Amino acid sequence: EGITVQEYVAIKMKTLAWSGKAKQVIGDKIPADADVFFIPATLRPETMYGQICCFVGPNVAYGIFKVPVASQEGKFEYYLCTERAARNMAFQNIMPWGTYESVVQLLGSDVIGTLVNAPLSVYEKVYILPMQTLKPTKGTGVVTCVPSDSPDDYATVTELLRKPAYYNIEKEWLDKDILPVIQTPSSNLIAKHLVEQLKINSPKDTKLLEQAKEQAYKEGFYQGTMLIGEHKGIAVQDAKPLIRKQLIDSKLAFNYAE
C-alpha cells in the first residue's frame, strides 16, 4: 500500500456573529476585536461560488488556535478547527514550527448558528450548521457546504430542511437558493441530479453517496465548464488552479496537506 498525500485548500471563513452558546464559552478568552476564522478543507476550490452554509460535526471537539499573522509583528488571528488539524498545520509553516496553542475548546454544537463570511460565494454571509456524518479525523473537521456539486452536502441540506427542529436549527439559516456553478453533460446541478437519480434518501446512504461522489467528481473535473465568476465559460480543469491561486494570493485561503 502506498502513501498518498491529500492536498487541500483551507478556506478562511471570518466569523461575523457568534451563536449565543459560543459567546458564553469563549467569554473573554479572545480579544473582542480579533479575527476568528472557521477553516474548512476542500478539494474543490472552483466550487466556492456555490457555498450556502458551512458544516461542523455537532459532537466533534474543536479548538480555537492562536496564529501569528505573517508580516505583521505582534498581531494574531485565530483558527477554528480540530486539534489534529492544528497539529498538522504546526508542521506546514501555517503556525510557528511545532507550536499550536488552543485558547478555547468547544463542541461543534456550541457554534451552530454562528454567522461567517464565505469567500467567493454569491452568498457573502452563511451559517454554521451540523453535519452528523462529518469525520473528525479528516481534513480540518470543518466542511464548507456546496450543495450544487457535492452529493454529501446536498443530502445533508435536504435532511436539515426536513427536520429543522430535530437538528436545533432555524429554517431561515438555509433559506438560500442552490445556484448552478458548473455545467456537466448531465446537469448544471450535478449533486442534486445524482441524489435524485440514485434515490439517495439520507446522508447515511453511504454506498450510494460514494457512487454519486465519484461520478460528480469525474463529470465535474473532466467535462465541466464554469458557469459563474471570473472564469465563466472556462473548463473546470483550467479554472481550478487559477481559482485556487486567486484565493491564496488574496489571503482568503492557504494550502493544507495531510
Give me the least distance between CB of 234 and ligand A2H, in Å please: 17
Rounded to the nearest whole angstrom, what is the least distance from the CB of residue 106 to ligand A2H in the complex? 17
Q: Which of 134, 227, 152, 159 is nearest to 187 (CA)?
A: 227
What is the DSSP code (8-state) at residue 63?
Answer: E
Shortest distance in whole angstroms from residue 137 CB to ligand A2H: 7
Per CB under 6 A, does 209 bind ligand A2H? no
| Amino acid sitting at position 101 | E
Helices marked H in 45-134 — which ranges?
83-89, 108-111
Residues in the chain, overall count: 258
Instruction: Give the three cell numbers for residue 127.
Output: 451559517
The only residue of 135, 171, 204, 232 in contact with ligand A2H, by rule CB under 6 A: 135
Contact region with ligand A2H (CB under 6 A), list: 19-27, 135-143, 167-175, 200-208: 135-143
Does residue 150 touch ligand A2H according to CB under 6 A?
Answer: yes
Q: Which is nearer to ligand A2H, 87 or 138 (CB)?
A: 138
- In sequence order, the 6+-apart residues with CB closer than 8 A to the CB of 200 are 151, 155, 194, 208, 209, 212
By beta-carbon proximity to ligand A2H, the closer residue of 5 and 32 is 5
- Is residue 8 within 8 A of residue 109, CB to CB? The reply is no
Residue 203 is a binding residue for ligand A2H (CB under 6 A): no
Contact region with ligand A2H (CB under 6 A), list: 25-33, 86-94, 149-157, 228-236: 149-157
The answer to whether residues 79 and 64 touch, using CB atoms and an 8 Å cutoff, is yes
Residue 125 lies near ligand A2H (rule: CB under 6 A): no
Which residues, other chains included, contact 207 with Cβ-Cβ below 8 Å and sequence gap of 6+?
A: none
Strand 76-81 to strand 125-130: parallel, antiparallel, or no bridges (unpaired)? unpaired
Report the residue from 47, 156, 187, 225 that binds ligand A2H according to the rule CB under 6 A. Answer: 47
Binding mask 63-92 toward ligand A2H (x if CB under 6 A, else -) reads ------------------------------
Binding residues (CB under 6 A) for ligand A2H: these are 6, 41-44, 47, 134-135, 138-139, 141, 143-146, 149-150, 153, 213
